[in-house]
Chains A and B, each alone.
Chain A
Amino acid sequence: MADLGRAALLLTLGLSLYALVGGGVAAALGRRRLALSARNALYASFFSTLVASAVLVAGFVRDDFSLAYVAGHSSRELPLQYKFSAFWGGQEGSLLLWLLVLTAYASLAVWFARKRARDLVVWVTPVLAGITVAFTWLLVAVSSPFDTIAAPLDGNGLNPSLQNPYMVIHPVFLYLGYVGLAVPFAFAMGSLLSGRTDERWIVATRRWTIVAWTALGIGQLLGAHWAYEEVGWGGYYAWDPVENAALMPWLVATAYLHSVMIQEKRGMLRIWNVTLVGLAFCLSLFGTFLTRSGIVSSIHSFTQSGIGPWFLGFVVAAVVFTVTMIWLRLPQLRTKARLESLVSREAAFLYNNLLLVALCLTILWGTAWPIVSEAIRGEAVVVGRPYYDFFLRIFGLPLLLLMGIGPLIAWRRASLRGLARVFAWPVGIALATGALLIALGAGSSIPGLIAYTFAAFVLATIVLEFARGTAARRALTGESVPVAFGQLVGRNRRRYGGYVVHASIVLLAIGVAGSSAYDSVAEGRLVRGESLSVADYTVTYRALTEREGANATEIRAVLDVRRGDDELGTVRAGKNAYSAEQQVSNEVGIRSDLVTGEDLFVIAEQVREDGAVFFRVFVKPLVNLIWLAGLVFLLGSLITLWPDAREERRLATRYARAGDAADRPAT
């Protein structure tokens, strides 16, 4: 079976090399059949990669330990769902997942754009093929998942931290995000290579960019929830290098999704937009380099290997290629339109972009500092949480405020008097919220207070936006409120989907501020019957249980929970001892209050033989808003992504001539 896997990967390498060289020659010399053939090779590379992936999945399901990768990441007792997720539990499988997602994205993006931007696709094909060649080369020549060994009786098992439901889907979403950024990159570079710097590359990649950005956002939240439940330190985001690696391209992609609107509305920022797209893709490569090279220590990095230099080479090649292409096409990218006023929607979006990129670069600097300091001083110095928290407040709070301001300012220019009238209500609501919070004692954290006040301002603007839009539509059409509301959202999906996404970011900000600025913690060693108090909760250690699970011994301390006079049931926290893996994992106990959004979070740090347990107990106000934000974020993204038939017809008309022209042979 390994032979089929290896053969399929060799085919992917051959196909992508052909698509790169043949596609490049076809584009440069204008050869129609060769261009079509190269595109077919790109499609076929997806199917050969799919075959290789199916072989690896079959190896896990059949416990084929003659495959070294399967033996190293699975065992006979491993539950079936984790045998599937063990696919990406190590480096070789992760790279194969990268390649599978990449070839799927490449095939679909090229397929959908083949009519509307056919002359552009001719140049996009070799760019996507070039990225595919790089990853396939690693899998064929450097780090193959199909290396064979004399089959042992059982495998080494899967890292216990990865035996969590979130780890079944978190990496898939993350890779859908990372890899998806290759699509706008390839179209932007294709546009520059072909010299066709019109808007077609933006139109062709609009949905792909939002899909990738959404997947990356959801992937990060799933990862945060995994860390919250599985790592057992009481938090969900630790500014770990691998976490930062996913955040950075997401921030840049967020900046791009805003700045591209300025290009679409005003024809400005063409250079900036291709730069952002290039930066986002290079950062996604850099993130994979950080995760896979083992160059920085991380709780999320499960492998260390020698592929780091290869990845570094890819990052450098991508940066050099991007900078060169932008430099060569500068004259075509320059536009006549200028920023007319510093108080306008495009200016607000520009401030948003500068803050997002500044935040990204400070995170990049902090993440890379251990590497830089080791190179300079011979000693790796790790940047701590205060550094990141400081810049998150400096750049994040103004960003939060701008989320409320940007959508309500007029394009081109706006007067201060007009703004005062439009923002009167939101400002009033924000100030009232701030005053109320101070009265309730929330002034203990100034950043938290500011975040809540700004959040109230943004939420007020969003609610007013929906209300004003619905009222205006009712006045125009006489529709009922639900119909007017539905039509308003349905006919302006990008705008109102965007507002829903903004609402999710506000929820996220409230959840982060609440759980980090206003949390409580208590710890102590308890014997049975003893209690510990934290905030207004009291937990009493009742019993210690032990049972044999599917592939681990599960030890749990059972605690009664009370708040005031209310008995709130029990919470169980403990450890799992995995036999095949010879490892122990923390299994935290969480009691969520869905009304207040608060969590009681219990860690059983040490379980002694005499039955005494050292507990650490947190109360995390509003933390569940973070997970709710994920659902709202997904809803907003889906609204934005939902096809708009009228918009499609308009674009079809606009590009009919260009598509038809490029489709037919030259005469």
Chain B
Amino acid sequence: MTVWLALGAALAVAVVVVVALPFLREPAPASDALHELDPRERELLDAQETRDRALAALKELEADHRAARISDEDYRAVIGVVRRDAADALRRLDEMEAGARTPGAKSG
């Protein structure tokens, strides 16, 4: 019984060390605050998701049309909107990145 209890105690010590590790490694950090995404970074993330979504939609539509999954008629009805969405998403992202390169543009 003593051996098992000793093993239990050793396990407890090991997990306490693991849990305490971040404090042991950095006992006095310059900053302990979690970094939050600022509004501009969140907006950028949103713009990237929108761009990826729009480009994926365009790619899928072209592939579906090429494989005759989608008729010419349906393709023509949708392709304009999908291309415009993709262009808008790319333009928005370009503008944001250009803004980020401008000195003093970062907010938050």
State yes or no: do A and B come from one complex: yes
| Chain A residues at the B interface, C-beta cutoff of 8 Å | 1-4, 6-8, 11, 15, 18, 26-27, 30-37, 40-41, 43-44, 47-48, 51, 119, 122, 196, 198-199, 264-267, 408, 410-415, 417-419, 421-422, 465, 468-469, 471-472, 475-476, 650, 654-655, 657-658, 661-667
B56 to nearest A CB, angstroms? Answer: 7
Q: Which residues of the other chain, B, contact A122 by a CB distance below 8 angstroms?
A: 34
Report the Cα distance A196→B36, complex, angstroms: 11
Q: Which residues of the other chain, A, contact B21 by a CB distance below 8 angstroms?
A: 36-37, 40
Q: Are B44 and A657 in contact (CB under 8 A)?
A: yes
Q: A264-B53, A658-B41 are in contact. Are A32 and B60 (CB under 8 A)?
A: no
B54 to nearest A CB, angstroms? Answer: 10
Chain B interface size, under 10 / 10 to 19 / 20 to 34 / 35 or more: 35 or more
Report the Cα distance A58→B20, complex, angstroms: 31
0 or 1 for each of B19-36: is its CB under 8 Å from A? (1 = yes):
111110010011111111
Name B6's closest neighbour in chain A (CB-CB): A4
Report the Cα distance A419→B70, complex, angstroms: 8
A-B contact pairs, 25 of them (CB 8 A): A1-B4, A2-B4, A3-B4, A4-B5, A4-B8, A8-B11, A11-B11, A18-B19, A26-B34, A32-B31, A32-B35, A34-B32, A36-B22, A196-B42, A199-B49, A265-B56, A411-B78, A421-B71, A469-B67, A472-B66, A476-B66, A658-B45, A665-B33, A665-B35, A666-B36
Q: A7-B8, A411-B60 are in contact. Are A661 and B69 (CB under 8 A)?
A: no
0 or 1 for each of B59-102: is its CB under 8 Å from A? (1 = yes):
01101101111111111011001100000000000000000000
B21 to nearest A CB, angstroms? Answer: 6
Report the Cα distance A3→B3, complex, angstroms: 10
* Shortest Cβ-Cβ A-B pairs, 6 listed: A7-B8, A418-B71, A36-B22, A472-B67, A666-B33, A418-B74
Q: A3-B8, A37-B23, A40-B21 are in contact. Are A266 and B53 (CB under 8 A)?
A: yes
Report the Cα distance A122→B34, complex, angstroms: 9
Q: Are A198 and B26 in contact (CB under 8 A)?
A: no
Report the Cα distance A267→B32, complex, angstroms: 35
Report the Cα distance A41→B34, complex, angstroms: 18
Q: Are B66 and A654 in contact (CB under 8 A)?
A: no
Q: Which residues of the other chain, A, contact B8 by a CB distance below 8 angstroms?
A: 3-4, 6-8, 11
Q: Which residues of the other chain, B, contact A33 by a CB distance below 8 angstroms?
A: 22-23, 26, 29, 32
CB contact between B34 and one of A7, A31, A410, A469 (< 8 Å): that residue: A31
Report the Cα distance A27→B36, complex, angstroms: 10
Report the Cα distance A493→B30, complex, angstroms: 46
Q: Are A31 and B60 in contact (CB under 8 A)?
A: no
B105 at the interface (CB under 8 A from A): no
Q: Of residues B23, B45, B52, which shows the largest number of chain A Cβ atoms within 10 Å of its Cβ? A: B45
CB contact between B18 and one of A40, A51, A665 (< 8 Å): that residue: A40
Q: Are B77 and A415 in contact (CB under 8 A)?
A: yes
| Chain B residues at the A interface, C-beta cutoff of 8 Å | 1, 4-5, 7-9, 11-12, 15, 18-23, 26, 29-37, 41-42, 44-46, 48-50, 52-53, 56-57, 60-61, 63-64, 66-75, 77-78, 81-82
Report the Cα distance A33→B31, complex, angstroms: 10
A343 to nearest B CB, angstroms? Answer: 10
Name A42's closest neighbour in chain B (CB-CB): B19
Report the Cα distance A472→B70, complex, angstroms: 13
Name B7's closest neighbour in chain A (CB-CB): A4
Q: Are A11 and B34 in contact (CB under 8 A)?
A: no
Q: Are B5 and A3 in contact (CB under 8 A)?
A: yes
Q: Which residues of the other chain, B, contact A43 by a CB distance below 8 angstroms?
A: 18
Q: A47-B15, A122-B34, A198-B49 are in contact. List 18 more A-B contacts (CB 8 A).
A: A3-B4, A7-B5, A7-B12, A32-B33, A37-B20, A40-B18, A43-B18, A119-B35, A196-B37, A411-B60, A411-B61, A412-B78, A419-B71, A468-B67, A472-B67, A658-B45, A661-B41, A662-B36
Report the Cα distance A1→B7, complex, angstroms: 10
CB contact between B74 and one of A4, A18, A265, A415 (< 8 Å): that residue: A415
Q: Are A417 and B36 in contact (CB under 8 A)?
A: no
CB contact between A418 and one of B1, B29, B73, B81 (< 8 Å): that residue: B73
Report the Cα distance A493→B41, complex, angstroms: 31
B6 to nearest A CB, angstroms? Answer: 9
A458 to nearest B CB, angstroms? Answer: 15
Report the Cα distance A417→B77, complex, angstroms: 13
Report the Cα distance A651→B81, complex, angstroms: 25
Q: Are A413 and B4 in contact (CB under 8 A)?
A: no
B52 to nearest A CB, angstroms? Answer: 6
Report the Cα distance A119→B77, complex, angstroms: 41
Q: Are B12 and A11 in contact (CB under 8 A)?
A: yes
Report the Cα distance A432→B46, complex, angstroms: 49
Report the Cα distance A176→B23, complex, angstroms: 34
Q: Are A119 and B15 in contact (CB under 8 A)?
A: no
Report the Cα distance A667→B33, complex, angstroms: 8
Report the Cα distance A411→B77, complex, angstroms: 11
Name A468's closest neighbour in chain B (CB-CB): B67
Q: Which residues of the other chain, A, contact B71 by a CB distance below 8 angstroms?
A: 415, 417-419, 421-422
Q: Are A654 and B52 in contact (CB under 8 A)?
A: yes
Q: Are A267 and B53 in contact (CB under 8 A)?
A: yes
Report the Cα distance A65→B82, complex, angstroms: 68
Q: Which residues of the other chain, B, contact A267 by a CB distance below 8 angstroms?
A: 50, 53
Q: A119-B35, A665-B35 are in contact. Are A468 and B74 (CB under 8 A)?
A: no
A197 to nearest B CB, angstroms? Answer: 10
Q: Are A415 and B34 in contact (CB under 8 A)?
A: no
Report the Cα distance A345→B69, complex, angstroms: 12
Q: A31-B33, A44-B18 are in contact. Are A410 and B70 (CB under 8 A)?
A: yes
Report the Cα distance A628→B8, complex, angstroms: 47
Name A6's closest neighbour in chain B (CB-CB): B8
Q: A265-B57, A418-B70 are in contact. Are A119 and B36 (CB under 8 A)?
A: yes
Name A3's closest neighbour in chain B (CB-CB): B4
Q: Which residues of the other chain, B, contact A26 by a CB distance below 8 angstroms?
A: 34
CB contact between B31 and one of A34, A472, A654, A666 (< 8 Å): that residue: A666
Q: Which residues of the other chain, B, contact A37 by a CB distance below 8 angstroms?
A: 19-23
Report the Cα distance A15→B18, complex, angstroms: 11
A146 to nearest B CB, angstroms? Answer: 11
Q: Which residues of the other chain, A, contact B49 by a CB distance below 8 angstroms?
A: 198-199, 654
Q: Which residues of the other chain, A, contact B77 by a CB distance below 8 angstroms?
A: 413, 415
Report the Cα distance A47→B12, complex, angstroms: 11
Q: Which residues of the other chain, B, contact A6 by a CB distance below 8 angstroms?
A: 8
Q: A408-B69, A414-B74 are in contact. Are A30 and B18 (CB under 8 A)?
A: no
B73 to nearest A CB, angstroms? Answer: 5
Q: Which residues of the other chain, A, contact B57 by a CB distance below 8 angstroms?
A: 265-266, 411
Q: Which residues of the other chain, B, contact A15 by a CB distance below 8 angstroms?
A: 15, 19
CB contact between A48 and one of B11, B44, B68 (< 8 Å): that residue: B11
Q: Which residues of the other chain, A, contact B32 by a CB distance below 8 angstroms?
A: 31-34, 665
B26 to nearest A CB, angstroms? Answer: 6
Name B69's closest neighbour in chain A (CB-CB): A408
Q: Which residues of the other chain, A, contact B30 by a CB distance below 8 angstroms?
A: 665
Report the Cα distance A165→B77, complex, angstroms: 56
